[in-house]
Amino acid sequence: MSTGNNQHYLDPTHPNYLRWKRSRDISIERGKFVKSIIAKYKAITNVKILDIGSGFGGTIQNFLDSSNIVYSVEIDNFKLSTQPQHPSLKKFNCDAFNLPFEEQFDVIILQDFIEHIENPEKYLLYIKKFLKSDGIIYLSTPNKLSIFNLLADPHWGFPFVSIFSRKQLRKFFIPVFRRLEKNRVDIAELLSLNSLIKIFNQNGFSYKLHTIEAIKALFESPQQIIWSDFHLFLLKILKKLKLEKFLIKLSNNRTGILNKYFTPTFYFVLSKKIKNH
């Protein structure tokens, strides 16, 4: 059995405690957004789903149905133990690079996960073999170069930390600001849009962005998208300035300047590229 990190996220004295608690409290709501995107591509009944890094299970609770089969993979045994018991749910406490099964799935969920993997290029190639030929991968991850993440990193809440590599975080940031977390195994290294697209292409994936849907959800159901104090503060400002319609109109799902340097989190759907004969 694997234990993952120490349960620092349950320590009320930790500077990020409220951020993590809020994320847990709205995890089912966040899963509703995941479900809404997946529903654009797949039926949400009679499907086989694999959720990697499933955390406390908020997202998968939106898919627990007698017609579905849901595999939940989580390295943190405490988080896994809090997930609900359900006939359609199978839980696996293991490393994401060593899955103890060989099945293929209609849907694979990588929600805010890929940035925590040491080698995302290698991991996407590994996980690809678990995807059916017509299956999809839902992948969300913070944007390394977003101006909003530069002002306040989504994991630590510090300015400019989003551009640090994992090695730099361990060497310069953690010893000074988070000494008690020096043994964490899931330190995130954010990726840029160009880096992600390169990884997708190298591993034979087609991709589609869903920024428009995220912006609409941000104003209609913000608990599905954000939870940090900084982002909640920004949303309050945007609403006060009555910029909802403008930002929704401005948003797009292309790979241009807006998504490269402003969008805080990418929401992708990946599928296997069809080989030309």
Question: Please, are residues 233 and 273 in contact by the beta-carbon 8 Å criterion?
Answer: no
Determine the residue type at 33: F
The percent helix, strand, coil of the chain (3-state, each to 5) is 40, 15, 40
Query: One digit per residue, pLDDT tens: the chain, 277 residues?
Result: 445 566 888 888 888 888 888 889 999 999 999 999 999 999 999 999 999 999 999 999 999 999 999 999 999 999 999 999 999 999 999 999 999 999 999 999 999 999 999 999 999 999 999 999 999 999 999 999 999 999 999 999 999 999 999 999 999 999 999 988 888 888 999 999 999 999 999 999 999 999 999 999 999 999 999 988 889 999 999 999 999 999 999 999 999 999 999 999 999 999 999 876 5
**Tokens representing 192?**
């840029």
Say what the pTM is: 0.95
Helix (H) or strand (E) holding 175: helix 174-177
* 138 DSSP assignment: E
Return the SS3 of 252. Answer: coil
**pLDDT at 175 (0 to 100):** 95
Question: Please, are residues 60 and 31 in contact by the beta-carbon 8 Å criterion?
Answer: yes
